[in-house]
Amino acid sequence: MSIWSPLRGHAEQKEMFRRTIRRNRLSQAYLFVGPSGIGKRKFAQLLAHALLCQNPGEDPLEACGQCAGCKPFLAGAHPDFLAVGCPEGKRELPIALLLGPEERRGQEGLCHDLSLAPLPGSRKVAIVDDADTMNDASANAFLKTLEEPPERAILILIASNLDALLSTIRSRCQLVRFSPLETEDIRAMLIEQQLAQSDDDVNFAAALSEGSLTTATQLLEPELRELRTLLYRQLAQVSFSGLGLAKSLLEGIGKISSETSVQRINAQWLIRFLVEFFRMAVWQIGQGPTESVPFSAEVSQFVNRLMTQSDDVEVVGGLIERCVEAAVHVDQNVAVPLVLESLCQDLSRLLRLAAPTH
């Protein structure tokens, strides 16, 4: 079995490394860039494994799993494999991970460990995940290692935001761009890793994930999922109190986090949920009821109750436009309660005008 089977996508990047290793043309420093949650770190780890295998097969990206390189690597204890990243909950990659704690600066940490000679027949491979969270002091210190990388060492930096990296760091690495995953891959991963509770959840989270498993997983967090259910049930009724709905939504995102920045992100998700719902409704108006659409029961109910004399698609188009406007307001830092209250009230009013009998 291939060591690469847990990874989906990124065939082009694999092929590039396969060719490079065959030609013995590996660079000393790579910079992996692409959205978060698409498998860049997994890719780097598998590449490191392949590079540390002392008995690779015909495909240089495969590892034997048995040799003096593979066994310690698989046990998470290969002395020539180094990896650091931004710890969970922190905003910056701590300089101590690169240079050692203050009292032992330069005597510990990734840069120091990298300068030690590898085991015979081996090379050093270091992964610096979240490289875009290094502050200037860390980045400048790290630059010294990049400028004069130790012999037989390969550095892999990983970042999702290229602009947040010092240009001096960028220019010393070979850039490898990673693209978002296919929706189909996300769907398969959600099922394989049992991250979703229903087919609707799988399809919905995959469709909104923008090719990132991290995003798909966030969308399935219970609190956000609950809010989406609440929202869709209300919409299915067509007639609802705008203020009442806004109040429930605001309470919901307030419970998830009291931080304004997180509330903004979640407000944007709620607006995306609305847009998705209306898009599914437009689809259903055009195609008739279909089970391929997630939440088809709620969407069908909405479409059936709407039945306006005017053009339904036009009505729903107007609702989508109003949602897009609200998303812009959130981006422009308008207070979240204000945006959601006026959005819910407008949606309720537009629906009342379109379907006056309800």
Alpha helices in 124-241 (DSSP H): 136-147, 167-170, 183-192, 199-208, 213-219, 222-237
* Closest by Cα among 11, 33, 138, 12 to 86: 138
Sites for Zn ion among residues 279-318 (CB under 5 A): none
Shortest separation between residue 61's beta carbon and Zn ion, angstroms: 12
CA distances from 355 to 241, 242, 260, 299, 305 (A): 15, 15, 36, 16, 8
Cα angle vertex 227, ends 221, 233, to 5°?
Answer: 130
CB of 232 to Zn ion, least distance (A): 51
Among the residue ranges 58-66, 143-151, 190-198, 264-272, the one whose residues contact Zn ion (CB under 5 A): 58-66
53 binds Zn ion (CB under 5 A): yes
Q: Does 51 bind Zn ion (CB under 5 A)?
A: no
114 binds Zn ion (CB under 5 A): no
- Residue from 7, 21, 26, 67 that binds Zn ion (CB under 5 A)? 67
The answer to whether 2 contacts Zn ion (rule: CB under 5 A) is: no
For residue 32, give every residue at least 6 positions away whose Cβ sits within 8 Å of its Cβ, in sequence order, or none.
Answer: 40, 43, 44, 156, 157, 158, 159, 176, 178
| Bridge partners, residue 31, by sequence | 157, 175
64 binds Zn ion per the rule CB under 5 A: yes
| SS3 state of residue 175 | strand
Coil vs helix vs strand at 150: coil
Sign of the alpha-carbon dihedral angle for 270, 271, 272, 275: positive
Segment near Zn ion (CB under 5 A); pick from 68-76, 134-142, 238-246, 301-309? 68-76
- Spatial separation of the C-alpha atoms in residues 107 and 216, rounded to whole Å: 41
Pick the stretch among 26-34, 65-73, 124-132, 236-244 that binds Zn ion (CB under 5 A): 65-73
Choose the stretch contacting Zn ion; rule: CB under 5 A; options: 21-29, 57-65, 129-137, 323-331.
57-65
Q: Is 231 in the site for Zn ion (CB under 5 A)?
A: no
Q: Segment contacting Zn ion (CB under 5 A): 62-70, 130-138, 156-164, 333-341?
A: 62-70
Minimum distance of Zn ion from residue 56's CB (angstroms): 7
CB 132, CB 165: distance < 8 Å = yes
Q: Does position 70 bind Zn ion by CB under 5 A? A: yes
Please report where in the chains the tokens 């909950």 appear, as a residue.
Answer: 89
Q: How far is the CB of 11 from Zn ion (least distance, A)?
A: 23
Residues 76-105 that bind Zn ion (CB under 5 A): none
Contact between 139 and Zn ion by CB under 5 A: the answer reads no
Does residue number 50 form part of the binding site for Zn ion (CB under 5 A)?
no
119 is a site residue for Zn ion (CB under 5 A): no
Beta strand 81-84 with 153-159 is: unpaired
Query: Which segment (45-53, 189-197, 202-210, 219-227) binds Zn ion by CB under 5 A?
Result: 45-53
What is the smallest separation between the CB atom of 73 and Zn ion, expressed in angstroms?
Answer: 8
- Please tell me the distance from the alpha carbon of residue 215 to that of residue 212, in angstroms, as a whole number: 5
Give the residue, chosen from 55, 193, 198, 239, that forms a contact with Zn ion under the rule CB under 5 A: 55
For Zn ion, which stretch binds (CB under 5 A), given 69-77, 245-253, 287-295, 301-309?
A: 69-77
Our finding on whether 63 is near Zn ion (CB under 5 A) is: yes
How many residues make contact with Zn ion (CB under 5 A)? Answer: 6
Which is closer to Zn ion, CB of 60 or CB of 318?
A: 60
For the purposes of burial, counting CB atoms within 10 Å of the CB of 11, is it exposed (0-12), middle (13-18) or buried (19 or more)?
exposed
Query: In 10 A of CB 213, how many CB atoms?
Result: 24
Neighbours of 8 (CB within 10 A): 19
Q: How far is the CB of 114 from Zn ion (least distance, A)?
A: 22
Nearer to Zn ion, 51 or 63 (CB): 63
Structure-token pair, residue 319: 């609702």
Q: In residues, how long is the chain?
A: 358
Give the shortest CB-152-to-Zn ion separation in angstroms. Answer: 17
Distance CA 38, CA 178 (A): 8
Residues that bind Zn ion (CB under 5 A): 53, 55, 63-64, 67, 70
